[in-house]
Chains A and B, each alone.
Chain A
Amino acid sequence: MSKRILVVEDQEDLRAILRDYLAASGYTVIEAVDGAQSVAKAASERPDLVLMDVQLPVLNGYEATRQIKGLPGYTAIPIIAVSSFAMKGDEEKARAAGCDHYVTKPYSPVQLLRIIRGFLGDQL
């Protein structure tokens, strides 16, 4: 069974790119469009990795990360923050919330895939 990645992104285009690319790369993609949904999806689906956009409606990415990491037995699930702010302090906030990594938009899908594979211990 292929590994499952929860992509949390409110922009449909970006979600589609990741969905297409990650699926093509052999992963099962679960999607969430806001922070609250991401926590619910994570709890019900138990993904192997989470790609978390920071700027989200309803519940922002930091808070969502905090809640997911707070779920029993979820601490070890890697969460990669994705931000378009590129403002100072963003990375710290992300790491403080419990994110394991941090990338800024616009990211190269190829590079992002490399990071994901690294976290999941898959062949590059």
Chain B
Amino acid sequence: MSSHVPTPGVERDLSAKVQELERELTEARQQQAATAEILRAISRSQTDVQRVFDTIITSAVELCEALQGAVYLYDGKLVHFGAHRNYSPETIEVLERMYPRPPLPDQVSGRAILNRAIAQIEDSLADPLYVRELALAGGWRSQLAVPMFRNGEPIGAIVITRPEAGPFSASHIELLQTFADQAVIAIENTRLFEEVQARTRELTEALERQTATSEVLGIISSSPGELKPVFETMLANAMRICEARFGHLLLYDGEAFHAAHLEGLPAAYRELWERGPIRPNPNTGLGRIVRTKRVVHIPDLTADAACSERDPLRLATVELAGARSFLSVPMLKESQLVGAIVIYRQEIRPFTEKQIELVTSFANQAVIAIENTRLLNELRESLQQQTATSDVLKTISRSAFDLQNVLDTLVEAAVRLCAADSGLIRRREGEGYELAATFGFSEEFKADVTTQIVVPGRASIVGRVALERKTVAVADVLADPEFDRHQWQKLGGFRSTVGLPLLRDEELLGVLLLHRKEARPFTYQQISLLETFADQAVIAIENTRLFEEVQARTHELQESLEYQTAIFDVLSVISKSPHALQPVLDAIMTTAARLCQSTQAHVRLLREDGAFHIAAHRIHDPELLELLRTNPFRPSLDSVAGRAALRGVPVHVPDVAADPLISGFQRSISDRVRTALSVPLKRNGVVVGLISLWHDHVQPFTQRQIDLVATFADQAVIAINNVGLFEEVQARNRDLTALGEVGRAVSSTLDLKIVLKTIVDRAVELSGTDAGSIFYHRQETDRFELGETSGLDEEVVAKFRKLDIATGQTGLGEAIADRQPLQLPDAMKRASNPLRDAALEAGLRAALVVPLLGSEGALGALVLQRRRTGEFPPSVVSLMQTFADQSAIALENARLFDEIARKSRELEIASQHRSQFVANMSHELRTPLAAMLGYAELLQEGIYGALPEKFLPILMRIQSNGKHLLGLINTVLDISKIEAGQFKLNLGEYALGNIVETVMVATESLTATKKLAFKTDVSKQLPYGLGDEQRLTQVLLNLVGNAIKFTDAGEVRITAGAANGHFTVSVSDTGPGIPPEECEHIFEQFRQVDSSNTRAKGGTGLGLAIAREIVRMHGGRIWVESKLGHGSTFRMELPVRAPIAAGAE
């Protein structure tokens, strides 16, 4: 468009553009403000929590002696199976299928999480809720779970298992608790780390957004709304259209008019306007426009008051420029006068209404253009500030933990962007504020400022900010009545100043202060920018603080883990060598010296001689070690260890050289030992040792180190106690072993010499004496005679044996007479006697005589002999008494045994004789009996001719008595065989039915005589048995014979059957029965129910004993069931096949 005449359309476009720019500006500011909130603590600890868990669970399983272990994590809804240890691949597969799952009481982890408490399953197989198959597959029985908490909420559990059932020990529970705590720390650490990571990401994103915004704004700012061509066009158009001779466009700043553009002005008048701003008098045209803010139209400049008053501007206008008609249109922005368009004619000719309206329109256009340009400039400025802010942010993010760099950057950026000359940041340190960063200070000024600490107060600006905790702006410090830091004002030459508080929440961290050398107040916009910088400074300071805190906590954690590991190390040494103190002390020395960075360390222990001796050390300086060894230690205040020994508490002297009480030896080594720590080892409240750690330079021990050494001291005491207990147990064990050995010797060997030798050897060994012996007392001669000895030369023994020791003469006799142990501390002090003299000759001075007292008086004495003089301790005396008792028992036993052995031998011989006699006798008896029976039978058979009738019953009686006698002889023979162990079976196949038949045939006549019913009940198809048919027939015959014998009326019944590889045979009768108490004894030898019966019924009382033996040898059993008055049933049970061994030989 070639025309420069503004149109309403253009005006609308411009307005829209202004609105858009305003919106963009607001957005940019919001983003800038938002950026200020972003920064936070960043942790550099790259904790790999999985690895930590692995380590924790491995240690937990190992230290709790568990079978397996796992870490379960709880996200508030589900439990996850985490790090684990020792599970079989199958079990892991099952667990990974099971999890994640809600916390349920069927799992121990679920219980711990649900109940927020330690949970135990003592026996997973017996627990009603637990999944039994899981425990069986995994191989565990008992389980323990310790929950993990964060802020009181469960976040998981550590679980360990064991293969055996039963509760976990308190120490394991405590240990697992510690591991759970460590896991929580690890989780916390990781969470913190991840949070920092997240924040860092957010920050990076924000920076990217802002950079993008900057670029957009940069493109906008590269096409600026240029004001000059607008004015030029505008004025040219106005003059042309209004037929004016010349004109100008003026800007008004509230006091004066500045020429923004001049068009066609006569040279002299032009010069006037170019000289500077003009403040018009009220009556002039411009004065009136200032007053009225309306169009001023003066048709004739020479005809009004201003001219008549000879106003210089008017005169210049009229005379220099020759102007006559005058039109001035105000430029109003929100009813404020910002300028005016003025046009002149050199002739008196008023401007028309139309012309006035046009110029008014131009004025409005100009205002819009001006505003437009102003906004663009502001935008540009804001952009600059943003770029600066971005720089600061970049600095912060790049050097997140280099606070100095951040603060320096901040101050510099603040100074530059706010058109200040210098600036500083002071940080609060206690009650004062110390210089933290400066920019634009001269060396001299900076030096002065650095040395002085500002305190809250009105005299300084920083002090005032600290006091009021809000921004303080002073337009001119020289005009401020309260400001009194004139020294600084002179050095820095500043006039305007502004101070901003660095506030984090309610806490004032410091002050940001800016100086300007001219007295020009900081604008609202600058202050608001500074507030952003203040916020950033706070963020940076806070960021660094958090970072340092994380660093410190990480360090603490490492340290405490290291200490814990050290404590565990020592504990493991204690547990690995429970009987030795030295490895424990060595471990403590190594660990303590390492963790406390000590150059020297040593342990002293209280010994029997009442002095503290060096028991372990880590001293590399041989000279110092020698000095320590040679200088006796005593509890006193002039040494560090001495104080610890006296007071019984840890004593820490940070600088030995500065301690006035230190003297003597400790003072003399103060060039090698500057810092000293001594911790007492207290056992039952008594100091029994000291751990001392030294630095060869001044380096105080931290409280944690002192605590650690105190823990080591406790562990050392535990080890000392352990070793003490162990040694005591060992001593008891030695006593017990010796006693056991002696006891065994007494009971296992009847060789008296071996027993007594053992006793003497053990007595000497246990009492730690030089020699021992046993003397027998011979009552018949009233003399002592040397028995067994220990620790004596053969020569000496030979000498002792030759002695004639009369009872009354010696200590032996005295001890026997008193019936108690006798101490002879020194033989030199006793009267001479042969034994004493011989002992002295052998170099034995002291003796302990313990009498051996038997049931029939003194048997002898146990004597201990020693080269060293003095009494034997009570423990030895009491042990010797036990040995003496044992010896007496051995002597008595031996005597009794000899007697028994002798009698047994005699008995055995007698018994053999008897058996042989019985066997011979029965044989010899049978031969004539055979002849008698034979002849009787032949007579009866009529071999020798017919006998008279009346002889026959007599012949029968001879036969029956002969047979009875034969039976008796056979029985006696059987018993004698059984007794002699010669009773053997003759195994062969037999048919049980045949045996029953044989017995029935043999006894039928007897039942018939007694008119008894005889019944048999034999199963068909009985298997063939293996056994001694003849003997079994004998058994059954005996049972049936008895039944017939004792039954007067009724019946006798034999039953036989087979079941489960056994024959069952019973013989029942309807006789008188057997009392229950007799049923057990009836099978014993010579037993009959009623001895009065024996005579009536006959019999040896041996038959059942033999029967039982025969059945027993067949591998069977026999018993009787009976009730008085209801008969008896004898039953036997026989294996169908008797064991082959029964018939062996």
30 A-B pairs in the complex with CB atoms less than 8 angstroms apart: A11-B927, A11-B931, A13-B928, A13-B935, A14-B927, A14-B930, A14-B931, A17-B931, A17-B934, A17-B935, A20-B938, A20-B944, A21-B934, A24-B943, A84-B926, A86-B970, A87-B977, A87-B982, A88-B1145, A89-B984, A89-B1145, A91-B986, A106-B929, A106-B930, A106-B966, A108-B933, A108-B937, A109-B934, A109-B938, A109-B941
Q: Shortest distance in angstroms between B962's beta carbon and chain A's nearest beta carbon?
A: 8
- Binary CB contact string for chain A from 14 to 28 against chain B (1 if under 8 A, 0 otherwise): 100100110010000
The closest CB in chain B to the CB of A111 belongs to B937
The closest CB in chain A to the CB of B977 belongs to A87
Q: Is B812 engaged at the interface, CB distance under 8 Å to the other chain?
A: no
Residues of B within 8 A of A109 (CB): 934, 937-938, 941
- Binary CB contact string for chain B from 73 to 104 against chain A (1 if under 8 A, 0 otherwise): 00000000000000000000000000000000
Q: Shortest distance in angstroms between A26's beta carbon and chain B's nearest beta carbon?
A: 12
Q: Is B634 engaged at the interface, CB distance under 8 Å to the other chain?
A: no
Residues of B within 8 A of A107 (CB): 930, 934
Residues of B within 8 A of A24 (CB): 943
Bound-state Cα–Cα, A63 to B934, Å: 27
Q: Is B1039 engaged at the interface, CB distance under 8 Å to the other chain?
A: no
Q: Is B973 engaged at the interface, CB distance under 8 Å to the other chain?
A: yes
Q: Shortest distance in angstroms between B245's beta carbon and chain A's nearest beta carbon?
A: 174
A17-B935, A20-B938, A88-B1145 known; A105+B943 contact, CB < 8 A = no
Instruction: Give me 5 other A-B pairs in contact (C-beta within 8 A), A14-B930, A85-B923, A91-B986 excluded.
Output: A20-B944, A21-B943, A84-B927, A87-B982, A110-B941
Residues of B within 8 A of A11 (CB): 927, 931
From 79 to 124 in chain A, residues with beta carbon under 8 angstroms from any chain B beta carbon are 84-89, 91, 105-110
Bound-state Cα–Cα, A17 to B936, Å: 10
A20-B943, A109-B941 known; A88+B982 contact, CB < 8 A = yes
From 929 to 956 in chain B, residues with beta carbon under 8 angstroms from any chain A beta carbon are 929-931, 933-935, 937-938, 941, 943-944
A21-B938, A88-B1145 known; A106+B926 contact, CB < 8 A = yes
Q: Shortest distance in angstroms between B1's beta carbon and chain A's nearest beta carbon?
A: 154
Inter-chain residue pair count (beta carbon < 8 A): 59
The closest CB in chain A to the CB of B923 belongs to A84
From 1 to 45 in chain A, residues with beta carbon under 8 angstroms from any chain B beta carbon are 11, 13-14, 17, 20-21, 24
A20-B938, A21-B938, A108-B937 known; A84+B930 contact, CB < 8 A = yes
A86 engages B973 (CB within 8 Å): yes
Cβ contact of A14, chosen from B934, B944, B966, cutoff 8 A: B934
Residues of A within 8 A of B973 (CB): 86
B923 engages A106 (CB within 8 Å): no
Bound-state Cα–Cα, A107 to B931, Å: 9
Residues of A within 8 A of B985 (CB): 88
A11-B931, A20-B943, A21-B943 known; A105+B984 contact, CB < 8 A = no
- The SS class assigned to the A binding surface is loop
Bound-state Cα–Cα, A106 to B966, Å: 8
Residues of A within 8 A of B941 (CB): 21, 109-110
Bound-state Cα–Cα, A108 to B982, Å: 27
B986 engages A88 (CB within 8 Å): yes
- Binary CB contact string for chain B from 958 to 978 against chain A (1 if under 8 A, 0 otherwise): 000000001000100100010
Q: Shortest distance in angstroms between B629's beta carbon and chain A's nearest beta carbon?
A: 89
Bound-state Cα–Cα, A53 to B950, Å: 35
B937 engages A105 (CB within 8 Å): no
The closest CB in chain A to the CB of B1031 belongs to A88
B966 engages A17 (CB within 8 Å): no
Residues of A within 8 A of B937 (CB): 108-110
The closest CB in chain A to the CB of B943 belongs to A24
Return the 7 tightest CB-CB contacts between A and B, nearest first: A106-B930, A13-B931, A17-B934, A88-B984, A24-B943, A105-B930, A109-B937
Bound-state Cα–Cα, A87 to B974, Å: 10
The closest CB in chain A to the CB of B970 belongs to A86
The closest CB in chain A to the CB of B924 belongs to A84
B1145 engages A106 (CB within 8 Å): no
A17-B931, A21-B943 known; A105+B982 contact, CB < 8 A = no
Residues of A within 8 A of B928 (CB): 13
- Binary CB contact string for chain B from 901 to 933 against chain A (1 if under 8 A, 0 otherwise): 000000000000000000000010011111101
Q: Shortest distance in angstroms between B677's beta carbon and chain A's nearest beta carbon?
A: 94
Bound-state Cα–Cα, A91 to B985, Å: 12
Residues of A within 8 A of B935 (CB): 13, 17
A21-B943, A84-B923, A84-B926 known; A106+B934 contact, CB < 8 A = yes
Bound-state Cα–Cα, A23 to B928, Å: 22
Residues of B within 8 A of A21 (CB): 934, 938, 941, 943
B938 engages A106 (CB within 8 Å): no
Residues of A within 8 A of B1145 (CB): 88-89
- Binary CB contact string for chain A from 71 to 84 against chain B (1 if under 8 A, 0 otherwise): 00000000000001
B938 engages A17 (CB within 8 Å): yes
The closest CB in chain B to the CB of A18 belongs to B934
Bound-state Cα–Cα, A14 to B929, Å: 10
Bound-state Cα–Cα, A21 to B937, Å: 10
Residues of A within 8 A of B931 (CB): 11, 13-14, 17
The closest CB in chain A to the CB of B969 belongs to A106
Residues of B within 8 A of A91 (CB): 986
Bound-state Cα–Cα, A3 to B938, Å: 21
A11-B931, A21-B943, A87-B982 known; A105+B926 contact, CB < 8 A = yes
Residues of B within 8 A of A110 (CB): 937, 941
The closest CB in chain B to the CB of A14 belongs to B931
The closest CB in chain B to the CB of A55 belongs to B923
Q: Taking each of A85, A91, A106, A110, which has the highest tally of chain B beta carbons within 10 Å of its own beta carbon?
A: A106
- Binary CB contact string for chain A from 41 to 58 against chain B (1 if under 8 A, 0 otherwise): 000000000000000000
Residues of B within 8 A of A13 (CB): 928, 931, 934-935
Q: Shortest distance in angstroms between A102's beta carbon and chain B's nearest beta carbon?
A: 11
Residues of A within 8 A of B970 (CB): 86
Bound-state Cα–Cα, A20 to B936, Å: 13
Bound-state Cα–Cα, A84 to B933, Å: 14
The closest CB in chain B to the CB of A22 belongs to B943
Bound-state Cα–Cα, A72 to B385, Å: 150
The closest CB in chain A to the CB of B1028 belongs to A88
Residues of A within 8 A of B983 (CB): 88
Q: Taking each of A24, A107, A109, which has the highest tally of chain B beta carbons within 10 Å of its own beta carbon?
A: A109
Residues of A within 8 A of B923 (CB): 84-85
Q: Shortest distance in angstroms between A94's beta carbon and chain B's nearest beta carbon?
A: 12
Q: Shortest distance in angstroms between B643's beta carbon and chain A's nearest beta carbon?
A: 97
Bound-state Cα–Cα, A91 to B933, Å: 23
Bound-state Cα–Cα, A85 to B941, Å: 27
Bound-state Cα–Cα, A13 to B944, Å: 15
The closest CB in chain A to the CB of B933 belongs to A106
Residues of A within 8 A of B927 (CB): 11, 14, 84, 105
Residues of B within 8 A of A106 (CB): 926, 929-930, 933-934, 966
Q: Shortest distance in angstroms between B391's beta carbon and chain A's nearest beta carbon?
A: 124
Q: Shortest distance in angstroms between B782's beta carbon and chain A's nearest beta carbon?
A: 60
Bound-state Cα–Cα, A123 to B825, Å: 107
Q: Shortest distance in angstroms between A90's beta carbon and chain B's nearest beta carbon?
A: 9
Residues of B within 8 A of A105 (CB): 926-927, 930
Bound-state Cα–Cα, A77 to B498, Å: 156
The closest CB in chain B to the CB of A11 belongs to B927
Bound-state Cα–Cα, A108 to B940, Å: 12
Q: Shortest distance in angstroms between B1106's beta carbon and chain A's nearest beta carbon?
A: 14
Q: Shortest distance in angstroms between A115's beta carbon and chain B's nearest beta carbon?
A: 15
Bound-state Cα–Cα, A84 to B973, Å: 12
Bound-state Cα–Cα, A24 to B926, Å: 25
Bound-state Cα–Cα, A109 to B943, Å: 11
Residues of A within 8 A of B926 (CB): 84, 105-106
Bound-state Cα–Cα, A4 to B1138, Å: 43
Bound-state Cα–Cα, A84 to B934, Å: 14
The closest CB in chain A to the CB of B963 belongs to A106
Residues of B within 8 A of A89 (CB): 984, 1145
Bound-state Cα–Cα, A113 to B1136, Å: 35
Q: Taking each of A17, A20, A91, which has the highest tally of chain B beta carbons within 10 Å of its own beta carbon?
A: A17
